[in-house]
Structure 1
Amino acid sequence: MRMSWLATLLAVAGLAACSSAPKPADWQLEAKGATDRAIAAYLEGNSRVEAVESARARAELSSTGRIDLVARGELLRCASRVASLVLEPCAAFEALRQDAPAAESAYADYLAGRLKPADVGLLPEAQRVAAAASAESAGAAVQAIRDPLSRLVAAGVALQTGRASPSLVAEAVNTASAQGWRRPLLAWLGVQASLAEKSGNLEEAARVRRRIELTQNAPVRASLMAPATAPLNTPKQAVR
């Protein structure tokens, strides 16, 4: 799964390694891998695996004693929820806010739909245009985001700030569908069905409801049903 937005948030920590850089420390590799797996599991609808991998990622990040890294990890987890329209406070980040850098606080405010215009420049680059877009231009701004998860995050923020048009909702549905991300797909299909019902298009609403039923009945991928490869207290060298 391509996650340029994740790399943007974690690059400062060295979690997104490049070929010319020294070999990353074990905690960096473990944290990046666990974060990727946690987000993938959440988007695909496997809460059990997501919880295990998120705990693993937090343990690795916490081992550095750096609040900024732990804060970024929690923001990534909360961003996956916004992409899936689980619009709730990012409590784990809020517990760290007083010591978190300004960029992390701005991103948390963005996810909550209360970003100050002056702080748009602190956001990851992929989100800046969408964050500043009006209701009329939000759809085009979201569609222009190349990374699918970044696109869904921007769409989720647009929805909670009252800037989501039917075409933006359709773009979010198509994005989640193309990636096979069951959780956000169901959430956005629900919005699409509600919009169709409110507009009086009952035939379209029924079609979307049938699609929801199909998605709900799809089996969880076998790869996500397997237990974690190692418990959280396993020595790092044994986890490879």
Structure 2
Amino acid sequence: MTNASRYLLGLLTVALAACGSKPPQPDWQGNAYSSLQSFSSAYLSGDTRVADVEFARARDAVASTGRPDLVARAELMRCATRVASLEFDNCASFQPLAADADAAERSYSAYLNGQWQGLDSSLLPAQQRDVVSSGRLGEIQDPLSRLVAAGALLKSGRLTPADITTATETASAQGWRRPLLAWLGIQSQRAKAAGDSEAQARLQRRMDLVAKPLPPPNN
């Protein structure tokens, strides 16, 4: 599991990441943990149907506790995964729950939505904290953390051309279709604005490969 996944899943509760230590986990924790992992994998690969089903299962498991703060944290994980794919909606599903979230969760929501003015970056995960202070993508090693940071930088208007390339190739290396298409689209827009038809055609060929994978060969 990536560092970003550990952090985002850990937002639910420290016990979610504890494997067999002390008392047994309640069923809801294991169910939520498994479904959130499946959601993230399906969403990034572009399988919306499976992602929606898995997130609904995770949310239902968390909601069984009657704790809106935990549901808010699950919604933040979904929002962060969407931001990595350049799908911004102001963390709409988190907003009705924000009043019952703590300062760290509200700060993370603001970070994801590019609302950095007055943001207390000390409340953010360490790698994202550095992004706010430097205004650059930097040397984030974890792929999902890197894409989340790139999306937040783009939303805040601070992403550099070099960082766009880094984000694109990060998604490519992981085989994550949804964010890869989004970041290739950003590169294509920039090529079009620059009048670089050759680069635009090359990027379109890549996008066609990702959007329309070749059928398996006949045996």
Contact 2:9 2:77 (8 Å CA) reproduced: no
Deviations 1:104-123 (A, max 9, x none): 10011111110344411111
Match of 1:231 in 2: none
Pair 1:156-2:151 in alignment: yes
Deviations 1:105-151 (A, max 9, x none): 001111111034441111112211112223xxx14x2xx11211111
Match of 1:5 in 2: 4
* Matches of 1:133 and 1:209, distance apart in 2: 32
Q: Aligned letter for 2:4?
A: W
Q: Percent identity?
A: 48
Map residues 111-150 of structure 1 onto 2, 5 A cutoff: 111-134=112-135, 138-139=136-137, 141=138, 144-150=139-145
The number of residues matched between the two structures is 214
> Relative to structure 1, is the Cα distance of residues 123 and 213 closer, same or farther in structure 2, using a 3 angstrom cutoff?
same
Which residue among 193, 209, 217 is the counterpart of 2:212? Answer: 217
Contact 2:107 2:119 (8 Å CA) reproduced: no
> Relative to structure 1, is the Cα distance of residues 174 and 22 closer, same or farther in structure 2, using a 3 angstrom cutoff?
farther
State the superposition RMSD in angstroms.
1.9
Deviations 1:142-199 (A, max 9, x none): xx11211111010001111111111111111111011111000000000011112222
Match of 1:171 in 2: 166
C-alpha deviation, 1:8, in angstroms = 2.0
Contact 1:152 1:172 (8 Å CA) reproduced: yes
Pair 1:206-2:201 in alignment: yes
C-alpha deviation, 1:98, in angstroms = 1.0
Contact 1:117 1:132 (8 Å CA) reproduced: no
Q: Aligned letter for 2:168?
A: V
- Runs (5+) with no aligned partner, structure 2: none
Q: Aligned letter for 1:38?
A: F
Q: Aligned letter for 1:102?
A: A
* Matches of 1:196 and 1:210, distance apart in 2: 14
Match of 2:76 in 1: 75
> Relative to structure 1, is the Cα distance of residues 172 and 21 closer, same or farther in structure 2, using a 3 angstrom cutoff?
farther
* Matches of 2:42 and 2:123, distance apart in 1: 28
C-alpha deviation, 1:23, in angstroms = 3.3
Pair 1:110-2:111 in alignment: yes
* Matches of 1:184 and 1:118, distance apart in 2: 26
SS of the residue corresponding to residue 15 of structure 1 reads helix
- Runs (5+) with no aligned partner, structure 1: 221-240
* Matches of 1:79 and 1:151, distance apart in 2: 11
* Matches of 2:64 and 2:78, distance apart in 1: 18
Match of 2:25 in 1: 24
Match of 1:95 in 2: 96
Q: Aligned letter for 1:104?
A: E
Contact 2:36 2:58 (8 Å CA) reproduced: yes
Map residues 218-233 of structure 1 onto 2, 5 A cutoff: 218=213
C-alpha deviation, 1:27, in angstroms = 1.2
C-alpha deviation, 1:20, in angstroms = 4.5
